[in-house]
Amino acid sequence: MTPTPTATLVARDWAEIQERMLVPLYEAVYDRLEVGPGDRLLGLDCGAGLPLLLAAGRGASATGVEADPARRALARERLLEVLAAPPSQPAADRPYDALLAFSPTRAALASALPLVRRGGAVVLAGWGPAERCTVPSVLGRGPVPRDLDALAEGAGLRPDGSGRVFCPFGYADVDSAVRGLVSTGLYDAAADPALAEKELAEALHPFERSDGAVWLPNIFQYVIARVA
């Protein structure tokens, strides 16, 4: 499937503006897992591939899964191995050591777990407490924190730690903030996208600094579990 021009622009906004906001989360998880040479990682919903690049920078071998063709195309421009869906079966010689499943659906998690070795790490991550996240207050819509422990338990995984990470969303100006937030997909359900962007820009003004920059503090949470 060839991405539409609009989809390509939105994907580039994700890659150039929004994706880096989650670097503190990725780095905290990789530090916790001590990711390094010889490790094989599989990342669900890897976007344009930044989490894979960070893992590769530590010497790991990282493969991504991304359903959106525009984001997948950008990841491949970065010379990353990114699939449209998880492989149907694990490699016979070497399953993955870790699965990075940031905000996964139950179905996506279930399809990827067989690819991870016994004792391998599964990282589930998502938004922290609503009162600690600014983004949900913008336009009165946004992400709802998930019970990651329950998700891990439902998948038959063994708990092995958790943490919270400060991930502020910082933008050069309101226009960049609107483009970045729209690229997350949080506002896709709007009946009138142009009106939604206008309302979003207005809602962001209270978070503007004197230099025009926009600052939205957020806390993300993660859970590490092990394949039994």
Which tokens sit at 71?
């984001």
Average pLDDT over all residues of the chain = 92
Residue 187: which pLDDT band, with cuts at 50, 70 and 90?
Answer: confident
Instruction: Return the number of other C-beta atoms located less than 10 Å from residue 37's C-beta.
Output: 8
**pLDDT value, residue 146:** 84
**pLDDT value, residue 168:** 97
**pLDDT value, residue 91:** 61
Percent of the chain whose predicted confidence (pLDDT) is above 90: 76
pLDDT at 6 over 80: yes
Q: Give the pLDDT mean for 193-220.
A: 94
Termini Cα distance of the chain: 37
Question: Which residues does 136 contact at the CB level (< 8 Å), separation at least 6?
Answer: 127, 130, 142, 143, 144
Q: What is the pLDDT of residues 61-119, one digit of tens each?
A: 999 999 999 999 999 999 999 999 988 776 666 899 999 998 788 888 999 999 999 99
- Cα–Cα dist 225/228, whole Å: 9
**pLDDT value, residue 93:** 66
**pLDDT value, residue 1:** 62
Q: Give the pLDDT mean for 203-227.
A: 96
Q: Give the pLDDT mean for 130-149.
A: 79
pLDDT at 139 over 70: no
Cβ atoms of residues 130 and 221 within 8 Å? no
Residue 140: which pLDDT band, with cuts at 50, 70 and 90?
Answer: low
